[in-house]
C-alpha cells in the first residue's frame, strides 16, 4: 500500500489577495473555492493548492528552526512552454529542467519539465 498522489498542498500566506492574484493571473491556476480565510486552486490531476491566510511566508520561522516552512512548490510545465514562462515571470534561478520564481511572499516556486530536457 502507498499514497496514490498529491491530494493538496497548503501554504500559509499573509496577503491572501496578492497571492491569489499571483497564482491565478501569473501561473494560470483555476479558482476552485474561496473561503473566508482560504483560497483553493486547481493544480491539475485532482490536486489542490490551498492558500491559507495566517502568518505565512518563508521568513517567519524562528532562527533556531531555519529548516521550517515551505521549501518549494514545483509545478509541471511542458518543455515547449519554458521560454514563454521565462518571458512571463521574473525568473530567479534555473536548472536544465526547472525555472525558479518567487510568489509575492517569497515562497519558492519551481516550474519543471523533468525528465524532458
Provide the residue ranges of all domains of the chain, joining segments of one domain with +.
1-55, 71-117
Task: Give me the CATH topology for the region 1-55.
Answer: 2,3-Dihydroxybiphenyl 1,2-Dioxygenase; domain 1 (3.10.180)
Distances (CA, A) of 99 to 4, 18, 115: 26, 21, 14
Which pLDDT belongs to residue 65?
A: 45
- Nearest-Å Rg of the Cα atoms of the chain is 15
Q: How far is 8 from 1, CA to CA, in rounded Å? A: 19
Q: How far is 37 from 75, CA to CA, in rounded Å? A: 24
Which pLDDT belongs to residue 7?
A: 87
Q: How many residues does the chain have?
A: 117
Which residue positions in the chain have pLDDT lower than 50?
60-68
CATH 3.40.50 assigned to 71-117? no
**Helix (H/G/I), strand (E/B), else coil: 82:** helix
Answer left, alpha or beta for residue 46, where phi above 0 means left and psi between -120 and 50 means alpha: left
Which pLDDT belongs to residue 16?
A: 94
Which pLDDT belongs to residue 70?
A: 65
Q: How far is 14 from 7, CA to CA, in rounded Å? A: 23
Which pLDDT belongs to residue 63?
A: 39
pTM: 0.80
Amino acid at each position: 500500500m502507498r499514497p496514490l498522489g498529491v491530494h493538496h498542498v497548503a501554504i500559509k500566506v499573509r496577503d491572501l489577495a496578492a497571492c491569489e492574484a499571483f497564482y491565478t493571473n501569473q501561473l494560470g491556476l483555476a479558482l476552485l473555492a474561496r473561503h473566508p480565510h482560504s483560497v483553493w486552486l486547481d493544480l491539475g490531476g485532482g490536486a489542490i493548492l490551498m492558500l491559507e491566510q495566517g502568518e505565512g511566508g518563508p521568513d517567519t520561522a524562528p532562527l533556531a528552526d531555519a529548516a521550517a516552512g515551505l521549501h518549494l512548490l514545483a509545478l509541471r510545465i511542458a518543455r515547449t512552454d519554458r521560454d514563454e514562462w521565462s518571458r512571463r515571470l521574473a525568473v530567479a534561478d534555473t536548472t536544465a529542467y526547472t525555472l525558479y520564481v518567487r510568489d509575492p511572499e517569497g515562497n519558492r516556486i519551481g516550474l519543471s519539465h523533468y525528465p524532458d530536457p
